[in-house]
Amino acid sequence: MELSYEDVKSAKNGLIVITPDFDNFTAKLIAADEYSKYMTETPILEGVANREYYGRSATSIENKSTIEYGTEQGLAALIYGEQGVSSLPIQDITGEYIDTDNEYMYYYSAEFVK
């Protein structure tokens, strides 16, 4: 996701919400501020046999981060495994090689541009 405020006032506050819908196997991403609201929904575990048995643990992440313009910033990752999941620090997920036993991972990041 790339957020841009070209030709509009820059927001001072906003939020980004990522919500998995386990019943419909989708994840909703919402970005909102004083001026706009953006929402998109993506399928998860599409075509995966027995996907209803993959781990359904969830956690809430409440964090205020300083925006770094012009660079990709990791937001969250949805991690799934048939026999369980192991969590990783978001900083460790950005690399090309990730040492984990998790079968599926959906990584969300944003880039803020001026």
Instruction: Check pLDDT > 80 for residue 12.
Output: no
Average pLDDT, integer, range 51-62: 71
* pLDDT, position 41: 92
Instruction: Check pLDDT > 80 for residue 67.
Output: no
Tens digits of residue pLDDT in 14-42? 888 888 888 889 989 888 888 788 899 99
Give percent helix, percent strand, percent coil of the chain, each to the nearest 5. 5, 40, 55
Identity of residue 70: G
* pLDDT, position 5: 62
CA neighbor of 78 nearest in space, from 38, 26, 15, 32 = 26
Structural domain of residue 101, as residue ranges?
2-113
* pLDDT, position 107: 81
* pLDDT, position 43: 92
Please, what is the average pLDDT of the chain? 77
Task: Tell me how many domains the chain contains.
Answer: 1
Torsion of CA 20, 26, 31, 37, to 10 degrees: -130
Task: Kindly report the pTM of this predicted structure.
Answer: 0.69
Tens digits of residue pLDDT in 83-100? 766 666 666 666 665 666
CA neighbor of 16 nearest in space, from 114, 108, 113 = 108
